[in-house]
Chains A and B, each alone.
Chain A
Amino acid sequence: MIVLTDLLYDTIFHPEKAMEEIAERKPVVPSVLIVIMSFVLPWMVYIGSIQQNFGFTHVALIVAGLQGFINILWWFCSAAIWNLVAEIYGAKANAKSLLVALGFAQLPYIVGIPFLVGIFLFSGVSGWIQWGIIWIIMEIWSFTLIILAIKQIYMVSNTKAVGIYFSPLFLLVILAILGFFLLNFFVFAQFV
Protein backbone atom coordinates (compact mmCIF):
# COMPACT_ATOMS: atom_id res chain seq x y z
CA MET A 1 0.00 0.00 0.00
CA ILE A 2 1.28 3.43 -0.87
CA VAL A 3 1.63 5.92 1.94
CA LEU A 4 1.35 9.25 0.13
CA THR A 5 3.13 11.27 2.81
CA ASP A 6 6.11 8.89 2.60
CA LEU A 7 6.17 9.24 -1.16
CA LEU A 8 6.05 13.03 -0.98
CA TYR A 9 8.75 13.06 1.71
CA ASP A 10 10.97 10.83 -0.39
CA THR A 11 10.38 12.94 -3.53
CA ILE A 12 11.77 15.92 -1.61
CA PHE A 13 14.54 14.28 0.42
CA HIS A 14 15.28 10.92 -1.29
CA PRO A 15 14.21 11.48 -4.88
CA GLU A 16 15.97 8.43 -6.34
CA LYS A 17 14.16 6.10 -3.96
CA ALA A 18 10.86 7.94 -4.58
CA MET A 19 11.13 7.58 -8.34
CA GLU A 20 11.77 3.86 -7.96
CA GLU A 21 8.61 3.58 -5.84
CA ILE A 22 6.60 5.69 -8.31
CA ALA A 23 7.75 3.54 -11.24
CA GLU A 24 6.55 0.47 -9.42
CA ARG A 25 3.26 1.70 -7.89
CA LYS A 26 2.14 4.34 -10.48
CA PRO A 27 0.03 6.58 -8.17
CA VAL A 28 -1.93 8.45 -10.88
CA VAL A 29 -4.31 10.55 -8.75
CA PRO A 30 -1.62 12.25 -6.56
CA SER A 31 0.41 12.86 -9.70
CA VAL A 32 -2.52 14.61 -11.43
CA LEU A 33 -3.16 16.69 -8.29
CA ILE A 34 0.50 17.76 -8.13
CA VAL A 35 0.45 18.81 -11.80
CA ILE A 36 -2.70 20.90 -11.25
CA MET A 37 -1.45 22.45 -8.01
CA SER A 38 1.99 23.17 -9.50
CA PHE A 39 0.50 25.93 -11.65
CA VAL A 40 -2.64 26.82 -9.68
CA LEU A 41 -0.85 27.62 -6.39
CA PRO A 42 1.96 29.83 -7.80
CA TRP A 43 -0.64 31.73 -9.83
CA MET A 44 -2.78 32.17 -6.69
CA VAL A 45 0.22 33.72 -4.94
CA TYR A 46 1.07 35.86 -7.96
CA ILE A 47 -2.45 37.18 -8.52
CA GLY A 48 -3.09 37.56 -4.80
CA SER A 49 0.04 39.55 -4.11
CA ILE A 50 2.09 40.92 -6.99
CA GLN A 51 -0.53 41.27 -9.71
CA GLN A 52 -2.73 43.50 -7.54
CA ASN A 53 -0.06 46.16 -7.81
CA PHE A 54 -0.35 46.25 -11.59
CA GLY A 55 -4.04 45.70 -12.31
CA PHE A 56 -5.12 43.60 -15.33
CA THR A 57 -6.09 40.74 -12.97
CA HIS A 58 -8.54 39.36 -15.54
CA VAL A 59 -5.72 39.17 -18.09
CA ALA A 60 -3.57 37.33 -15.53
CA LEU A 61 -6.43 34.84 -14.98
CA ILE A 62 -6.67 34.18 -18.72
CA VAL A 63 -2.89 33.66 -18.91
CA ALA A 64 -3.07 31.33 -15.88
CA GLY A 65 -5.82 29.27 -17.52
CA LEU A 66 -3.85 29.11 -20.74
CA GLN A 67 -0.72 28.06 -18.89
CA GLY A 68 -2.70 25.32 -17.11
CA PHE A 69 -3.90 23.93 -20.42
CA ILE A 70 -0.40 24.08 -21.93
CA ASN A 71 1.11 22.45 -18.80
CA ILE A 72 -1.24 19.48 -18.97
CA LEU A 73 -0.71 19.13 -22.72
CA TRP A 74 3.05 19.39 -22.24
CA TRP A 75 2.90 16.79 -19.46
CA PHE A 76 1.25 14.22 -21.74
CA CYS A 77 3.35 15.05 -24.81
CA SER A 78 6.67 15.04 -22.97
CA ALA A 79 5.86 11.65 -21.42
CA ALA A 80 5.00 10.27 -24.85
CA ILE A 81 8.08 11.77 -26.54
CA TRP A 82 10.59 10.71 -23.86
CA ASN A 83 9.05 7.24 -23.74
CA LEU A 84 9.54 6.93 -27.51
CA VAL A 85 13.12 8.18 -27.27
CA ALA A 86 13.83 5.74 -24.40
CA GLU A 87 12.51 2.90 -26.61
CA ILE A 88 14.79 4.03 -29.44
CA TYR A 89 17.68 3.97 -26.94
CA GLY A 90 16.75 0.32 -26.26
CA ALA A 91 14.83 0.64 -23.01
CA LYS A 92 11.53 -1.10 -22.28
CA ALA A 93 8.50 1.17 -22.84
CA ASN A 94 6.80 2.34 -19.64
CA ALA A 95 4.82 5.46 -20.56
CA LYS A 96 2.37 5.33 -17.65
CA SER A 97 5.12 5.23 -15.04
CA LEU A 98 6.91 8.11 -16.75
CA LEU A 99 3.69 10.15 -16.91
CA VAL A 100 3.11 9.67 -13.17
CA ALA A 101 6.77 10.40 -12.33
CA LEU A 102 6.76 13.56 -14.43
CA GLY A 103 3.77 14.71 -12.38
CA PHE A 104 5.75 14.22 -9.17
CA ALA A 105 8.66 16.09 -10.75
CA GLN A 106 6.48 19.23 -10.59
CA LEU A 107 6.57 19.13 -6.78
CA PRO A 108 9.39 21.76 -6.50
CA TYR A 109 7.00 24.41 -7.89
CA ILE A 110 4.71 23.79 -4.89
CA VAL A 111 7.45 23.46 -2.27
CA GLY A 112 9.02 26.71 -3.48
CA ILE A 113 5.89 28.76 -2.72
CA PRO A 114 6.83 29.76 0.87
CA PHE A 115 10.12 31.14 -0.50
CA LEU A 116 8.30 33.19 -3.13
CA VAL A 117 5.90 34.57 -0.52
CA GLY A 118 8.80 35.30 1.84
CA ILE A 119 10.53 37.35 -0.90
CA PHE A 120 7.29 39.23 -1.56
CA LEU A 121 6.90 40.04 2.15
CA PHE A 122 10.44 41.32 2.56
CA SER A 123 11.18 42.86 -0.84
CA GLY A 124 7.75 43.56 -2.30
CA VAL A 125 7.39 43.81 -6.05
CA SER A 126 11.00 44.97 -6.34
CA GLY A 127 12.20 41.49 -5.39
CA TRP A 128 11.73 40.15 -8.90
CA ILE A 129 15.41 39.16 -9.17
CA GLN A 130 15.10 36.99 -6.05
CA TRP A 131 11.87 35.58 -7.50
CA GLY A 132 13.82 34.70 -10.64
CA ILE A 133 16.58 33.00 -8.63
CA ILE A 134 14.06 30.90 -6.69
CA TRP A 135 12.34 30.01 -9.95
CA ILE A 136 15.64 28.89 -11.51
CA ILE A 137 16.34 26.73 -8.44
CA MET A 138 12.90 25.14 -8.77
CA GLU A 139 13.54 24.50 -12.49
CA ILE A 140 16.89 22.82 -11.74
CA TRP A 141 15.29 20.75 -8.99
CA SER A 142 12.46 19.67 -11.29
CA PHE A 143 14.97 18.85 -14.05
CA THR A 144 16.92 16.67 -11.62
CA LEU A 145 13.74 14.81 -10.63
CA ILE A 146 12.90 14.19 -14.31
CA ILE A 147 16.38 12.78 -14.98
CA LEU A 148 16.08 10.52 -11.92
CA ALA A 149 12.61 9.44 -13.08
CA ILE A 150 13.92 8.51 -16.54
CA LYS A 151 16.88 6.72 -14.92
CA GLN A 152 14.73 4.68 -12.53
CA ILE A 153 11.88 3.89 -14.92
CA TYR A 154 14.02 2.82 -17.91
CA MET A 155 16.90 1.42 -15.83
CA VAL A 156 19.49 3.54 -17.63
CA SER A 157 22.60 5.40 -16.51
CA ASN A 158 22.61 9.08 -15.58
CA THR A 159 24.31 9.98 -18.88
CA LYS A 160 21.77 8.03 -20.91
CA ALA A 161 18.92 9.64 -18.95
CA VAL A 162 20.28 13.08 -19.78
CA GLY A 163 20.65 11.94 -23.38
CA ILE A 164 17.00 10.84 -23.48
CA TYR A 165 15.97 14.18 -21.95
CA PHE A 166 17.84 16.31 -24.46
CA SER A 167 17.44 14.13 -27.58
CA PRO A 168 14.08 15.60 -28.67
CA LEU A 169 15.53 19.10 -28.27
CA PHE A 170 18.62 18.24 -30.33
CA LEU A 171 16.43 16.68 -32.98
CA LEU A 172 14.32 19.80 -33.11
CA VAL A 173 17.38 22.03 -33.49
CA ILE A 174 18.80 19.82 -36.25
CA LEU A 175 15.43 19.79 -38.06
CA ALA A 176 15.20 23.57 -37.77
CA ILE A 177 18.72 24.03 -39.23
CA LEU A 178 17.99 21.54 -42.02
CA GLY A 179 14.69 23.25 -42.72
CA PHE A 180 16.41 26.61 -42.91
CA PHE A 181 19.01 25.34 -45.40
CA LEU A 182 16.41 23.51 -47.49
CA LEU A 183 14.25 26.62 -47.58
CA ASN A 184 17.26 28.65 -48.65
CA PHE A 185 18.11 26.14 -51.34
CA PHE A 186 14.66 25.64 -52.84
CA VAL A 187 13.03 29.02 -52.39
CA PHE A 188 15.63 31.74 -52.21
CA ALA A 189 18.02 30.14 -54.69
CA GLN A 190 15.45 30.78 -57.43
CA PHE A 191 15.84 34.51 -57.05
CA VAL A 192 19.62 34.57 -57.47
Chain B
Amino acid sequence: MSKKTVVFGIAGLIILSIFISMIVGAGKEKAKAANEKIAVIHVEGVIMGGQGSGKFLSEQGGTDYLMKQLHEARDDQSIKAIVLRVNSPGGSAPASQEVGEELKKIRAQGKVIVTSMGDVAASGGYWLAACTDKIYANPATMTGSIGVYIPYANLEELYKKVGVSTTKIKSGQHKDILSPDRPMTAEERAMLQAMVDDMYNQFVVVVAEGRKMSPEQVMQLADGRIYTGNQAKELGLIDELGNYYDAIEGAQQLAGIQGRPEIKEYGKSSPFSLLFEGKANVLIEQLLLETLKTSNNSLMISPLALPYGWGNQ
Protein backbone atom coordinates (compact mmCIF):
# COMPACT_ATOMS: atom_id res chain seq x y z
CA MET B 1 0.00 0.00 0.00
CA SER B 2 1.48 3.34 -1.04
CA LYS B 3 1.90 6.29 1.32
CA LYS B 4 -0.58 8.24 -0.81
CA THR B 5 -3.29 5.58 -0.33
CA VAL B 6 -2.78 5.53 3.44
CA VAL B 7 -2.91 9.32 3.77
CA PHE B 8 -5.99 9.61 1.56
CA GLY B 9 -7.59 6.75 3.52
CA ILE B 10 -6.99 8.57 6.82
CA ALA B 11 -8.24 11.88 5.34
CA GLY B 12 -11.38 10.12 4.05
CA LEU B 13 -11.96 8.58 7.45
CA ILE B 14 -11.64 11.99 9.11
CA ILE B 15 -14.08 13.64 6.68
CA LEU B 16 -16.51 10.72 7.05
CA SER B 17 -16.29 10.97 10.86
CA ILE B 18 -17.13 14.65 10.80
CA PHE B 19 -20.14 14.04 8.57
CA ILE B 20 -21.35 11.15 10.72
CA SER B 21 -21.02 13.18 13.92
CA MET B 22 -23.05 16.01 12.40
CA ILE B 23 -25.75 13.73 10.99
CA VAL B 24 -26.06 11.77 14.25
CA GLY B 25 -25.98 14.98 16.30
CA ALA B 26 -28.70 16.56 14.17
CA GLY B 27 -30.74 13.34 14.32
CA LYS B 28 -30.51 13.30 18.10
CA GLU B 29 -31.61 16.92 18.23
CA LYS B 30 -34.63 16.18 16.05
CA ALA B 31 -35.55 13.13 18.11
CA LYS B 32 -35.21 15.23 21.23
CA ALA B 33 -37.50 17.91 19.81
CA ALA B 34 -40.06 15.31 18.82
CA ASN B 35 -40.10 13.83 22.36
CA GLU B 36 -43.20 14.60 24.33
CA LYS B 37 -42.33 16.30 27.57
CA ILE B 38 -43.80 16.73 31.02
CA ALA B 39 -43.02 20.00 32.75
CA VAL B 40 -42.44 20.02 36.49
CA ILE B 41 -43.13 23.32 38.21
CA HIS B 42 -42.38 23.74 41.89
CA VAL B 43 -44.55 25.72 44.28
CA GLU B 44 -42.37 26.06 47.34
CA GLY B 45 -42.94 28.04 50.51
CA VAL B 46 -45.50 30.76 51.10
CA ILE B 47 -47.53 31.78 48.07
CA MET B 48 -47.25 35.53 47.72
CA GLY B 49 -48.07 37.85 44.88
CA GLY B 50 -45.52 40.01 43.13
CA GLN B 51 -42.09 39.48 41.73
CA GLY B 52 -40.51 37.75 44.69
CA SER B 53 -36.81 38.19 45.18
CA GLY B 54 -35.10 39.02 41.91
CA LYS B 55 -31.38 38.51 42.27
CA PHE B 56 -28.49 38.75 39.88
CA LEU B 57 -29.03 36.19 37.09
CA SER B 58 -32.00 34.57 38.80
CA GLU B 59 -35.36 35.21 40.38
CA GLN B 60 -37.35 33.22 42.89
CA GLY B 61 -40.53 33.33 44.92
CA GLY B 62 -43.59 35.42 44.09
CA THR B 63 -46.44 34.33 41.87
CA ASP B 64 -45.19 36.44 38.94
CA TYR B 65 -42.28 34.07 38.58
CA LEU B 66 -44.54 31.05 39.01
CA MET B 67 -46.89 32.30 36.32
CA LYS B 68 -43.96 33.03 34.02
CA GLN B 69 -42.94 29.39 34.36
CA LEU B 70 -46.51 28.28 33.67
CA HIS B 71 -46.61 30.43 30.54
CA GLU B 72 -43.32 29.02 29.31
CA ALA B 73 -44.68 25.51 29.77
CA ARG B 74 -47.93 26.48 28.04
CA ASP B 75 -46.09 27.93 25.03
CA ASP B 76 -43.77 24.95 24.63
CA GLN B 77 -45.51 22.71 22.10
CA SER B 78 -43.50 19.66 23.13
CA ILE B 79 -44.89 19.87 26.70
CA LYS B 80 -48.03 17.82 26.93
CA ALA B 81 -48.58 17.86 30.67
CA ILE B 82 -47.55 19.85 33.71
CA VAL B 83 -46.88 18.42 37.15
CA LEU B 84 -47.33 21.03 39.86
CA ARG B 85 -45.16 19.94 42.77
CA VAL B 86 -46.71 21.73 45.74
CA ASN B 87 -44.87 22.07 49.02
CA SER B 88 -46.58 25.07 50.52
CA PRO B 89 -48.55 25.90 53.68
CA GLY B 90 -50.56 28.45 51.71
CA GLY B 91 -50.22 32.18 51.40
CA SER B 92 -52.16 35.13 50.15
CA ALA B 93 -55.68 34.49 48.86
CA PRO B 94 -55.38 36.82 45.83
CA ALA B 95 -52.04 35.29 44.84
CA SER B 96 -53.44 31.76 45.11
CA GLN B 97 -56.49 32.82 43.14
CA GLU B 98 -54.38 34.46 40.44
CA VAL B 99 -52.31 31.33 39.89
CA GLY B 100 -55.37 29.10 40.19
CA GLU B 101 -57.13 31.00 37.39
CA GLU B 102 -54.03 30.71 35.23
CA LEU B 103 -53.99 26.95 35.81
CA LYS B 104 -57.61 26.75 34.66
CA LYS B 105 -56.82 28.72 31.48
CA ILE B 106 -53.90 26.43 30.65
CA ARG B 107 -56.11 23.38 31.16
CA ALA B 108 -58.74 24.93 28.89
CA GLN B 109 -56.07 25.19 26.20
CA GLY B 110 -55.63 21.42 26.28
CA LYS B 111 -52.70 20.82 28.63
CA VAL B 112 -53.05 18.36 31.45
CA ILE B 113 -52.07 19.60 34.92
CA VAL B 114 -51.51 17.17 37.78
CA THR B 115 -50.67 18.10 41.36
CA SER B 116 -48.11 16.24 43.40
CA MET B 117 -48.26 17.22 47.06
CA GLY B 118 -45.05 17.15 49.07
CA ASP B 119 -44.86 17.58 52.85
CA VAL B 120 -47.55 20.26 53.03
CA ALA B 121 -50.07 21.45 50.48
CA ALA B 122 -52.56 23.28 52.61
CA SER B 123 -54.82 26.28 52.28
CA GLY B 124 -53.52 28.36 49.33
CA GLY B 125 -51.49 25.32 48.29
CA TYR B 126 -54.70 23.32 48.21
CA TRP B 127 -56.43 26.15 46.30
CA LEU B 128 -53.92 25.63 43.47
CA ALA B 129 -54.29 21.85 43.64
CA ALA B 130 -58.07 22.15 43.35
CA CYS B 131 -57.58 23.92 40.01
CA THR B 132 -55.75 20.95 38.46
CA ASP B 133 -56.94 17.78 36.72
CA LYS B 134 -55.75 15.27 39.28
CA ILE B 135 -54.26 15.44 42.77
CA TYR B 136 -51.68 13.02 44.17
CA ALA B 137 -50.62 13.16 47.82
CA ASN B 138 -48.54 11.01 50.14
CA PRO B 139 -50.56 9.32 52.88
CA ALA B 140 -48.89 11.57 55.47
CA THR B 141 -49.04 14.81 53.50
CA MET B 142 -50.65 17.70 55.40
CA THR B 143 -53.40 19.16 53.30
CA GLY B 144 -56.80 20.80 53.62
CA SER B 145 -56.92 23.91 55.83
CA ILE B 146 -59.61 25.24 53.52
CA GLY B 147 -60.47 28.58 55.01
CA VAL B 148 -59.49 32.17 55.40
CA TYR B 149 -58.34 34.20 58.34
CA ILE B 150 -56.98 37.63 59.09
CA PRO B 151 -54.51 37.76 61.95
CA TYR B 152 -54.98 40.55 64.45
CA ALA B 153 -53.27 41.37 67.74
CA ASN B 154 -54.25 44.07 70.18
CA LEU B 155 -51.03 45.37 71.71
CA GLU B 156 -52.61 48.31 73.47
CA GLU B 157 -51.67 47.14 76.99
CA LEU B 158 -48.14 46.31 75.93
CA TYR B 159 -47.70 49.77 74.42
CA LYS B 160 -48.87 51.31 77.71
CA LYS B 161 -46.35 49.23 79.66
CA VAL B 162 -43.44 50.28 77.49
CA GLY B 163 -44.57 53.88 77.32
CA VAL B 164 -45.54 54.10 73.69
CA SER B 165 -48.42 56.31 72.71
CA THR B 166 -49.57 56.63 69.13
CA THR B 167 -51.60 59.28 67.41
CA LYS B 168 -53.17 58.98 63.97
CA ILE B 169 -54.50 61.55 61.58
CA LYS B 170 -57.05 59.59 59.53
CA SER B 171 -58.80 60.40 56.31
CA GLY B 172 -61.65 58.08 57.23
CA GLN B 173 -63.09 56.27 60.18
CA HIS B 174 -61.80 52.86 59.18
CA LYS B 175 -58.44 53.79 57.68
CA ASP B 176 -56.58 52.28 60.65
CA ILE B 177 -58.58 49.09 60.74
CA LEU B 178 -56.56 46.21 62.27
CA SER B 179 -54.38 48.73 64.03
CA PRO B 180 -52.66 46.95 66.97
CA ASP B 181 -52.79 49.98 69.28
CA ARG B 182 -56.54 49.94 69.88
CA PRO B 183 -59.28 47.37 70.26
CA MET B 184 -61.31 46.40 67.22
CA THR B 185 -64.80 47.85 67.11
CA ALA B 186 -67.88 45.69 66.54
CA GLU B 187 -68.47 47.44 63.23
CA GLU B 188 -64.94 46.73 62.07
CA ARG B 189 -65.23 43.13 63.14
CA ALA B 190 -68.39 42.79 61.07
CA MET B 191 -66.69 44.36 58.05
CA LEU B 192 -63.68 42.06 58.29
CA GLN B 193 -65.89 39.03 58.89
CA ALA B 194 -67.80 39.91 55.70
CA MET B 195 -64.54 40.06 53.79
CA VAL B 196 -63.33 36.76 55.23
CA ASP B 197 -66.69 35.17 54.40
CA ASP B 198 -66.53 36.47 50.85
CA MET B 199 -63.01 35.10 50.32
CA TYR B 200 -64.04 31.85 52.00
CA ASN B 201 -67.00 31.49 49.65
CA GLN B 202 -64.74 32.06 46.66
CA PHE B 203 -62.39 29.38 48.00
CA VAL B 204 -65.31 26.98 48.49
CA VAL B 205 -66.51 27.54 44.93
CA VAL B 206 -63.03 26.80 43.56
CA VAL B 207 -62.81 23.57 45.56
CA ALA B 208 -66.39 22.57 44.66
CA GLU B 209 -65.73 23.10 40.94
CA GLY B 210 -62.35 21.41 41.03
CA ARG B 211 -63.43 18.42 43.08
CA LYS B 212 -66.86 18.07 41.51
CA MET B 213 -68.65 18.52 44.82
CA SER B 214 -71.51 20.74 45.87
CA PRO B 215 -70.56 23.89 47.85
CA GLU B 216 -72.47 22.46 50.81
CA GLN B 217 -70.35 19.30 50.74
CA VAL B 218 -67.17 21.39 50.61
CA MET B 219 -68.34 23.60 53.48
CA GLN B 220 -68.70 20.54 55.66
CA LEU B 221 -65.01 19.79 55.12
CA ALA B 222 -63.83 23.38 54.98
CA ASP B 223 -63.82 24.43 58.59
CA GLY B 224 -60.11 25.20 58.41
CA ARG B 225 -58.96 21.85 59.70
CA ILE B 226 -56.01 20.04 58.18
CA TYR B 227 -56.17 16.50 56.86
CA THR B 228 -53.59 13.85 56.18
CA GLY B 229 -53.29 12.56 52.63
CA ASN B 230 -55.12 9.41 53.72
CA GLN B 231 -58.04 11.34 55.20
CA ALA B 232 -58.16 13.67 52.20
CA LYS B 233 -58.43 10.65 49.89
CA GLU B 234 -61.39 9.26 51.85
CA LEU B 235 -63.10 12.67 51.79
CA GLY B 236 -62.53 13.18 48.08
CA LEU B 237 -60.19 16.11 48.46
CA ILE B 238 -57.48 14.30 46.52
CA ASP B 239 -57.63 11.62 43.81
CA GLU B 240 -54.77 9.24 44.47
CA LEU B 241 -52.24 8.38 47.12
CA GLY B 242 -48.81 8.42 45.58
CA ASN B 243 -45.50 10.18 45.35
CA TYR B 244 -43.94 12.53 42.83
CA TYR B 245 -43.20 9.76 40.31
CA ASP B 246 -46.74 8.42 40.57
CA ALA B 247 -47.94 11.92 39.70
CA ILE B 248 -45.65 12.01 36.67
CA GLU B 249 -46.98 8.63 35.58
CA GLY B 250 -50.54 9.89 36.12
CA ALA B 251 -49.82 12.99 34.03
CA GLN B 252 -48.34 10.78 31.32
CA GLN B 253 -51.47 8.62 31.21
CA LEU B 254 -53.84 11.60 31.20
CA ALA B 255 -51.89 13.29 28.40
CA GLY B 256 -51.68 10.02 26.44
CA ILE B 257 -47.90 10.13 26.19
CA GLN B 258 -46.48 6.94 24.70
CA GLY B 259 -43.12 5.71 25.96
CA ARG B 260 -40.92 7.37 28.49
CA PRO B 261 -41.53 11.11 28.62
CA GLU B 262 -38.78 13.66 28.94
CA ILE B 263 -39.03 15.68 32.14
CA LYS B 264 -38.40 19.39 31.89
CA GLU B 265 -37.94 20.89 35.31
CA TYR B 266 -38.60 24.59 35.80
CA GLY B 267 -37.07 26.75 38.48
CA LYS B 268 -34.24 24.32 39.06
CA SER B 269 -31.23 25.87 40.76
CA SER B 270 -28.59 26.73 38.21
CA PRO B 271 -24.90 27.08 39.06
CA PHE B 272 -25.42 30.82 38.73
CA SER B 273 -28.33 30.87 41.16
CA LEU B 274 -26.32 28.76 43.62
CA LEU B 275 -23.60 31.37 43.45
CA PHE B 276 -25.71 34.48 43.54
CA GLU B 277 -28.91 33.43 45.26
CA GLY B 278 -29.69 33.30 48.95
CA LYS B 279 -32.11 30.82 50.44
CA ALA B 280 -34.74 29.83 47.91
CA ASN B 281 -37.67 29.38 50.21
CA VAL B 282 -39.39 32.34 51.76
CA LEU B 283 -39.77 31.71 55.44
CA ILE B 284 -43.06 32.58 57.04
CA GLU B 285 -41.59 34.87 59.65
CA GLN B 286 -39.52 36.73 57.06
CA LEU B 287 -42.60 37.11 54.94
CA LEU B 288 -44.69 38.42 57.80
CA LEU B 289 -41.97 40.84 58.79
CA GLU B 290 -41.79 42.15 55.24
CA THR B 291 -45.56 42.40 55.07
CA LEU B 292 -45.67 44.33 58.33
CA LYS B 293 -42.96 46.65 57.11
CA THR B 294 -44.56 47.46 53.79
CA SER B 295 -48.24 47.87 54.31
CA ASN B 296 -50.90 48.50 56.84
CA ASN B 297 -53.75 46.48 55.44
CA SER B 298 -51.92 43.80 53.46
CA LEU B 299 -52.44 41.56 56.47
CA MET B 300 -55.31 40.20 54.46
CA ILE B 301 -53.22 37.18 53.72
CA SER B 302 -55.56 34.39 54.26
CA PRO B 303 -54.33 30.89 54.77
CA LEU B 304 -51.16 30.28 56.73
CA ALA B 305 -53.50 28.34 58.99
CA LEU B 306 -50.91 25.84 60.01
CA PRO B 307 -49.06 25.44 63.27
CA TYR B 308 -45.87 27.47 63.46
CA GLY B 309 -42.92 25.83 61.79
CA TRP B 310 -44.71 23.49 59.42
CA GLY B 311 -44.09 25.70 56.48
CA ASN B 312 -40.39 25.94 57.20
CA GLN B 313 -39.48 22.31 56.97
Which A residues contact B (CB, under 8 angstroms)? 5-6, 8-10, 12-13, 41, 44-45, 48-50, 52-53, 110-111, 113-114, 116-118, 120-121
Q: Find chain A residues with CB under 8 A from B20 CB.
A: 117, 121
Q: Does B158 contact A (CB under 8 A)?
A: no
Q: Does B280 contact A (CB under 8 A)?
A: no
Q: With A5-B8, A12-B10, A52-B29 given, is the CB distance from A113 to B18 under 8 Å? A: yes
A121 pairs with B24, CB closer than 8 A: yes
A52 pairs with B28, CB closer than 8 A: yes
Q: Find chain A residues with CB under 8 A from B160 CB.
A: none
Q: Does B13 contact A (CB under 8 A)?
A: yes
Indicate the size class of the contact surface on chain B.
Answer: 20 to 34
For the complex of A and B, list the 10 residue pairs with the smallest distance between their C-beta atoms, beginning with the closest. Answer: A48-B22, A117-B17, A49-B25, A9-B3, A49-B21, A5-B7, A114-B17, A5-B4, A48-B25, A117-B21
Q: Find chain B residues with CB under 8 A from A12 CB.
A: 10
B17 pairs with A45, CB closer than 8 A: yes
Which B residues contact A (CB, under 8 angstroms)? 3-4, 6-8, 10, 13-14, 16-18, 20-22, 24-26, 28-29, 32
Assembly CA distance A116 to B26 (angstroms): 17
Closest-CB distance, B30 to chain A (whole angstroms): 10
Assembly CA distance A36 to B26 (angstroms): 25
Q: What is the total of A-B residue contacts with beta carbons within 8 Å?
A: 60
Assembly CA distance A44 to B23 (angstroms): 12
For B12, give the chain A residue with the smallest CB separation.
A114
For A14, give the chain B residue with the smallest CB separation.
B3
Q: Find chain B residues with CB under 8 A from A52 CB.
A: 25-26, 28-29
Closest-CB distance, B13 to chain A (whole angstroms): 5
Q: Find chain A residues with CB under 8 A from B3 CB.
A: 5-6, 9-10
Select one of A9, A13, A111, A121 contacting B14, CB under 8 A: A111
For A118, give the chain B residue with the smallest CB separation.
B17
Assembly CA distance A116 to B32 (angstroms): 22
Q: Find chain A residues with CB under 8 A from B16 CB.
A: 114
Q: Find chain B residues with CB under 8 A from A121 CB.
A: 20-21, 24
Closest-CB distance, B169 to chain A (whole angstroms): 58
Q: With A5-B7, A6-B3, A9-B6 given, is the CB distance from A117 to B18 under 8 Å? A: yes
For A37, give the chain B residue with the smallest CB separation.
B14
For B25, give the chain A residue with the smallest CB separation.
A49
Assembly CA distance A114 to B10 (angstroms): 9
Closest-CB distance, A146 to chain B (whole angstroms): 21
Closest-CB distance, A170 to chain B (whole angstroms): 36
A41 pairs with B14, CB closer than 8 A: yes
A and B contact pairs by CB, cutoff 8 A, 19 listed? A5-B7, A9-B6, A48-B21, A48-B22, A48-B25, A49-B21, A49-B22, A49-B24, A49-B28, A52-B26, A111-B10, A113-B14, A113-B17, A114-B13, A117-B17, A117-B18, A117-B20, A117-B21, A121-B24
Q: Find chain A residues with CB under 8 A from B4 CB.
A: 5-6, 9
Q: With A52-B29, A114-B17 given, is the CB distance from A120 to B24 under 8 Å? A: yes
Assembly CA distance A49 to B10 (angstroms): 21
Q: Find chain B residues with CB under 8 A from A53 CB.
A: 28, 32
Assembly CA distance A44 to B21 (angstroms): 9
Assembly CA distance A3 to B108 (angstroms): 72
Q: Find chain B residues with CB under 8 A from A8 CB.
A: 7
Q: Find chain B residues with CB under 8 A from A45 CB.
A: 17-18, 21
Assembly CA distance A121 to B28 (angstroms): 11
Q: With A9-B6, A53-B28 given, is the CB distance from A48 to B14 under 8 Å? A: no
A48 pairs with B28, CB closer than 8 A: no
Closest-CB distance, B4 to chain A (whole angstroms): 5
Q: Find chain B residues with CB under 8 A from A44 CB.
A: 18, 21-22
Assembly CA distance A160 to B14 (angstroms): 35
Closest-CB distance, A21 to chain B (whole angstroms): 13
A48 pairs with B18, CB closer than 8 A: yes
Q: Find chain A residues with CB under 8 A from B6 CB.
A: 9, 13
For B5, give the chain A residue with the smallest CB separation.
A5
Q: Find chain A residues with CB under 8 A from B28 CB.
A: 49, 52-53
Most buried by A among B6, B16, B17: B17
Assembly CA distance A114 to B18 (angstroms): 8
Closest-CB distance, B65 to chain A (whole angstroms): 21
Assembly CA distance A99 to B32 (angstroms): 45
